[in-house]
Structure formats: C-alpha cells, structure tokens
Structure 1
Amino acid sequence: MNVWIAIGLTVVGCYAVKLAGLLVPAGALERPVVRKLAALVPVALLAALTAQQTFSSGHEIVLDARAAGLLAAGLALLLRAPFLVVVGIAVVVTAGVRALGG
C-alpha cells in the first residue's frame, strides 16, 4: 500500500471519529455510567501503554531493566513521592540495572 494512501485513510478515520464524538447527544453523555467510564478510560489507556512499553520488545514479552524501573517508580508512588522524584528514581534504577548487566 502506498504510504500516502495510508496517511489519507488515517486522516479520514481520525476525522470520522471526531465527528462521531460531536454527534453524540448531550443526554447520553450525562448518564452516570458514561461519566464513570469516561473518567477511567485515560487511566486504562495509560496503563496499557506503560505495560506495552515496559514488557515488550518487538513481538516478544521481556523482563529487563525497564521492569525494575517501573517497580521502583511504583514503590515511590506508594510512598507518595513527588512526580519528578518518581521519574528520577525510575531512571536511576533502570540505568543502574542496565549498568550491572541486567
């Protein structure tokens, strides 16, 4: 498939999704179930992207230094560390494990 055809189809698809979102009646968006789901979708997407980036390499599931960094970040979050500290801890732990050959 030509790259420009793929780009054009992506543009049309994105526009169609945006248009569909605008055409949803306001009454449907005010339902409590829809509000709860709308609040949970970003969290679920972020968790899925984090898991995919941490535990995969191509088409394989791997357990390497990234998992140690994620575990350290999770522990820092449980201890209520500020966000920049959490990121710094994850970076330092990941780099340390890689330096040790992990």
Structure 2
Amino acid sequence: MDKRDVFVQIDQMEEQMGTLYSELGRMKQHIKELLEENKRLSLENQQLRKLLKDVDHADAELPLVPITAAQAKEITGEGHDNLARLYHEGFHICNVYYGHLRTEGDCLFCMSFLNK
C-alpha cells in the first residue's frame, strides 16, 4: 500500500464522518421537533379530556343570555389569563414562536405581550 493511498483513504473517511455528523444533526433537530409536538399534543389532550369531563358533569342546558360590556371585558381577561397560563406551562405565546416549547428560558416577545 502506497503512502498516497493511505492519505486518500483517510480523506475519504473524514468526508464520510462529516456527512454522518451533519445527518446526525438533522436527525437530532427532527427528534426535538417531534418531542415538542408530542408534549403539545399531550397537554392539549389532557385539557380536552378535562373539558369533556366538565361538559359531561354539566348536563343541564343553560339558556342563552346576551353578554353585557362588563362581561365581555371579563371574558377578554380570561383569554389573557389563559395565555399567561400557557406561557408558564412552557409554551411560547408570541406571534413569532406561538405554540412551540420554550427551551431556553424567558422569551422577550412573550414577556412584552404579557406586560401589555
């Protein structure tokens, strides 16, 4: 075996290792996205089961009553509270990353939205 052949083989192995490393990075990103989706779907499933359980317990139908302005303001406050709850559960509520898991601490976009 010639010295040149050895260096050619080493170069080929190095190229193959680089390709494998980039492939591993892509797979790691895909797994991260799948885990985020799984967590999001698990939480959504849990909330839907809770909602379904609450609906089953409230079999009596309530008559429809028009909403006053004060009640509308209270409902808007509920929406803000729900978003705050989602944020504290670890999800983004900003328009940039809405619904994604927060993996690196607080998000400035989300925080600015909550402080409005």
> Is the TM-score greater than 0.5?
no
Which of the five TM-score ranges fits, normalised by the shorter chain? Answer: 0.3 to 0.5
TM (normalized to structure 1)? 0.34
Say which structure is richer in helix.
1
TM (normalized to structure 2)? 0.31
